[in-house]
Amino acid sequence: MYIEPSHPSGRFPSGIGGRLQSSHPSAGFATTDELTFSDIWKLFHRNRLILLLAVLVGLTVGLLYSIFTTTEYEATASVQYAPETSAGLGLTTIAASELGDNQNAIDTEIKILQSPAITLQVMRDLHMYDFSAVNDSSELPPALTERSLSRFASHLAVQQVPKTNLIEIRFRDHDPTRAALVANAVVKTYVQRNFQTRYQAAHDIAEWLDKQLSGIKVGAEDSQRKLADFQRQAGMLGTDEADNTVTDRLRQINDELTAAEADRIIKEARYRMMSSQSPDVISVAAMSPTLQTLRTQQAQLQVDYAQLTTKFGPGYPEVAQLHTQISQVDASIATEMTRVAKRVENEYRAALQTESMLRDQFDQQKVEAYKLNDTAAQYSIMRGEVDASRELYNDVQIKLKEAGITAGLSSTNVTILDVARTPVKPVVPNVKVALLTGLSVGLVLGIIVAFFRESLNDTINSVEQLEEASSLPVIALVPNRLEDKGSSTTIVGGSSLMSPVILGMPQSKSAEAYRGLRTCILLYSVDQPPNVIAITSSIPQEGKTTTSVNMAIALAQRGAKVLLVDADLRRPSVHKYFAGSRPKRGLTSLLSGDASMEDVCLPADEATPGLTVIPSGPLTPYPSEMLSSSRFRDSLNTWRQSFDHIVIDTPPITAVTDPVIIAQYADAVVLVARAGFVTKPALSRSINLLIRAQIKIAGIVLNRVDIATEYYYYGSGYYGYGRKKGSADAYYAT
User: Over 12-80, what HEC string results?
Assistant: CCCCHHHHHHHHCCCCCCCCCCCCCHHHHHHHHHHCHHHHHHHHHHHHHHHHHHHHHCCCEEEEEEEEE
Q: Give the whole-angstrom CA distance, residue 632 versus residue 637.
A: 9
Instruction: Report which DSSP code applies to 550.
Output: H
Q: Do residues 253 and 368 lie in contact, with contact meaning Cβ atoms separated by under 8 Å?
A: no
For 536, 553, 653, 671, 672, the CA distances from 539, given in Å and listed in that order, are 9, 24, 7, 11, 9
The predicted pLDDT at position 652 comes to: 92
pLDDT of 327 over the 90 cut: no
Q: Give the whole-angstrom CA distance, residue 544 versus residue 314.
A: 140
- The type of residue at 477 is L
Q: What are phi and psi of 263, to 5 degrees?
A: -65, -40
Q: What are phi and psi of 674, to 5 degrees?
A: -90, 125
Return the CA Rg of the chain: 59
- Quick one: the chain helix, strand, coil %, rounded to 5? 60, 10, 30
pLDDT of 726 over the 50 cut: no
The predicted pLDDT at position 240 comes to: 56
Report the pLDDT averaged over residues 201-224.
73
Beta bridge partners of 415: 80
- The region of weakest confidence among 128-132, 555-559, 648-652 is 128-132
If one counts every other C-beta atom within 10 angstroms of the C-beta of residue 20, the result is 19
Find all residues with CB under 8 Å of 310, minimum gap 6, and list them: none
Q: Give the whole-angstrom CA distance, residue 30 versus residue 9.
A: 26
- The region of weakest confidence among 322-326, 417-421, 546-550 is 322-326
Q: Give the whole-angstrom CA distance, residue 177 versus residue 512.
A: 74
Looking at domain 16-31+461-720, its CATH architecture is 3-Layer(aba) Sandwich (3.40)
What single string gives the DSSP state of each residue in 396-446?
HHHHHHHHHHHHHHTS--EEEEE-----SS--BS-HHHHHHHHHHHHHHHH
Q: Give the whole-angstrom CA distance, residue 473 versus residue 539.
A: 20
The predicted pLDDT at position 485 comes to: 42
Report the pLDDT averaged over residues 336-365.
79
Report the pLDDT averaged over residues 161-188.
91
Q: Backbone dihedral region of 438: left (phi > 0), alpha (psi from -120 to 50 degrees) or beta?
A: alpha
The predicted pLDDT at position 486 comes to: 42
Long-range contact pairs involving 107-114 (C-beta distance under 8 Å, separation at least 24) = 107/160, 109/81, 109/167, 109/414, 110/158, 110/159, 110/160, 110/167, 112/190, 112/193, 113/158, 113/167, 113/169, 113/186, 113/190, 114/153, 114/156, 114/158
Residue spans of the domains in the chain: they are: 16-31+461-720, 49-69+436-455, 73-202+414-418
Instruction: Report which DSSP code applies to 481.
Output: B
Beta bridge partners of 672: 537, 701
Which of 129 and 153 is assigned the larger pLDDT? 153
Mean of per-residue pLDDT scores for the chain: 76
Q: Give the whole-angstrom CA distance, residue 676 versus residue 460.
A: 5
The predicted pLDDT at position 45 comes to: 77
pLDDT digits (tens, 9 = 90+) for 367-397: 777 766 666 667 777 777 777 777 777 777 7
pLDDT of 647 over the 90 cut: yes
Q: How confident is the model at residue 469 (pLDDT cuts 50, 70, 90)?
A: confident
Q: Give the whole-angstrom CA distance, residue 301 versus residue 325.
A: 8
Q: State the SS3 of 587-636.
A: HHHHHHCCCCHHHHCECCCCCCCCEEEECCCCCCCCHHHHHCCHHHHHHH
- In 331-420, beta strands by DSSP E: 414-418
The predicted pLDDT at position 98 comes to: 42
The predicted pLDDT at position 334 comes to: 74
CATH 3.30.1890 matches 73-202+414-418: yes
**Dihedral sign computed on CA atoms, order 276, 281, 284, 287:** positive
Which of 267 and 729 is assigned the larger pLDDT? 267
Which of 718 and 251 is assigned the larger pLDDT? 251
The predicted pLDDT at position 646 comes to: 93
Find all residues with CB under 8 Å of 80, minimum gap 6, and list them: 165, 166, 167, 414, 415, 416, 417
The predicted pLDDT at position 283 comes to: 57
Which of 252 and 581 is assigned the larger pLDDT? 252
Which of 721 and 629 is assigned the larger pLDDT? 629
The predicted pLDDT at position 23 comes to: 36
Residue 454, helix vs strand vs coil: helix
Which of 573 and 136 is assigned the larger pLDDT? 573
Q: Do residues 571 and 719 lie in contact, with contact meaning Cβ atoms separated by under 8 Å?
A: no
Which of 130 and 716 is assigned the larger pLDDT? 130
Burial class (CB in 10 A: 0-12, 13-18, 19+), 103: exposed
**% of the chain beyond a pLDDT of 90:** 12
**Omega of the bond prior to 429 within 30 degrees of 0, cis?**
yes
Find all residues with CB under 8 Å of 549, minimum gap 6, and list them: 500, 564, 574, 577, 649
Instruction: Report which DSSP code applies to 459.
Output: B
Listed residue (453, 458, 470, 456) closest to 679, CA to CA: 458
Residue 1, helix vs strand vs coil: coil
